[in-house]
Amino acid sequence: MGGTDLTVVFLLIYSLSHSLRRVILANNRFQGNIPENLSLNPGISYLDLSNNLFKGNIPLKLGAWNNLSMLDLSNNSFDGYIPSELGSLDNLQKLRISSNMLTGPIPSALGNCTKLLSLDLSLNSLSGKIPLEIVRLEKLQNLVLSGNKLTGKIPDSFTSTQSLLELQLGDNILEGQIPVTLGNLQYIYLALNLSNNKLTGEIPATFSNLCKLQVLDLSRNSLSGQIPLALSSMISLSFVNVSFNQLSGNLPANWIKLVAQLPNSFQGNPNLIINNEIEKKHRSKSTWRIPLVTIACILSLIGGALLASRYLAARKAHKLSAVSRISKRGFDSTGGLPEDLTYEDILRVTEDLSDKYVIGRGRNGTVYKTEFGKGKCWALKKFNLYESSFFLEMKIMSFVRHRNLVRMAGYCCRDGFRMIIYEYMAGGTWWNTV
């Protein structure tokens, strides 16, 4: 429904207020402001306005819709502050206002929503500290605050009675040490993302309690010291990234198997020993009594290898410099793109990912339809979230087999974008949920 004015829409909602329970206006092109004179509407429990063109402030009177259990305003252009009045929604279970232009602090009044299960305020310009009142919500399962301008320390008040399954705090300006109480989150398994902040100190040994955690991203901070070897107990990890810190010493035993799968997840730590076996051999050789001639030969070989590696590195750097806007975050790769596609092909045929190719939007990203070669159509999913979420979906979709789903055909990581390529399914709507 392109360019529809909201006044008519909300007049209809008012007229049905006594019988209406669920309002879903998602994935349209509604535009303009939500009327400020919203009437009390005790009936509606589910309001989804996501993926539209709404703008302006979030109406304060939404805080009077006491029966709301789900409110989704994500992927719009709302600005201004998050109303503290939303803290009056006693029955609220899911609140999603991600991918807007909101500023100001996160209202501590949201801590009054004691039934809250999921809170996603990511990809805005929110500032200030993370309210303790939110962290202490015992029923909260998903806390996603990534991609804001939050400052201060991560609250050190996580307890074993909490239900958090996912904690996303990446891409903020958080500082200080990682709280040891994060190790109390016995149920967390989806993701723990603290990447791209200003965190210092060591990785807490209490992380050894996070046996169910699948995704851990601590990259691009200023963490130091050794990675506790006790973290070998994190047996469920399928993705870990500690790159670009100041870590040293050996990797935990079960992390070593991830080196081959995720080689860039450990780079940028000059004193981190990536291959324990090679290091052990090196130490044992140091005790041998080697003749001086042998030492000289070894030194010559090492010198030659260093010169060769420097030459190859210079050639590689020269080659990379010719490619514009190479991503400086995470890994850059194009994994098995279908039919010899290139990253440049993708940008060309989608006109730099123009909105006119968009066929769906979801919580995690935007899906584009495009055509390559001899009429072959593909669906390209560009992620809104971060490397950890992208990798987890990529791993899952690369193995999925179901008659109602299409398999992943390839992926591309460049210029800060994370994209997965699927075969286009005519008439299909499954990507609206991904």
Residue ranges for the known binding site for ATP are 381
> Tokens 């807490």 appear where?
204
Residue stretches of the annotated binding site: 381
Beta strands 94-96; 70-72: pairing state: parallel
Beta-sheet strand order (sheet of 125-128) = 2-5, 29-33, 53-56, 77-80, 101-104, 125-128, 149-150
DSSP lists the bridge partners of residue 102 as 80
Phi, psi of 224 (to 5 degrees): -135, 180
- In 3D space, the residue among 95, 104, 109 whose CA is nearest the CA of residue 49 turns out to be 95
Please, are residues 395 and 381 in contact by the beta-carbon 8 Å criterion?
no
Burial of 282 (0-12, 13-18, 19+ CB in 10 A): exposed
Q: Which residues contact 274 (CB under 8 A, 6 or more apart)?
A: 251, 259, 266
Q: Which two tokens stand for residue 412?
A: 């591309």
Q: Do strands 417-423 and 376-383 pair parallel, antiparallel, or not at all (unpaired)? A: antiparallel
The beta strand positions in 57-131, using DSSP E, are 70-72, 77-80, 94-96, 101-104, 118-120, 125-128
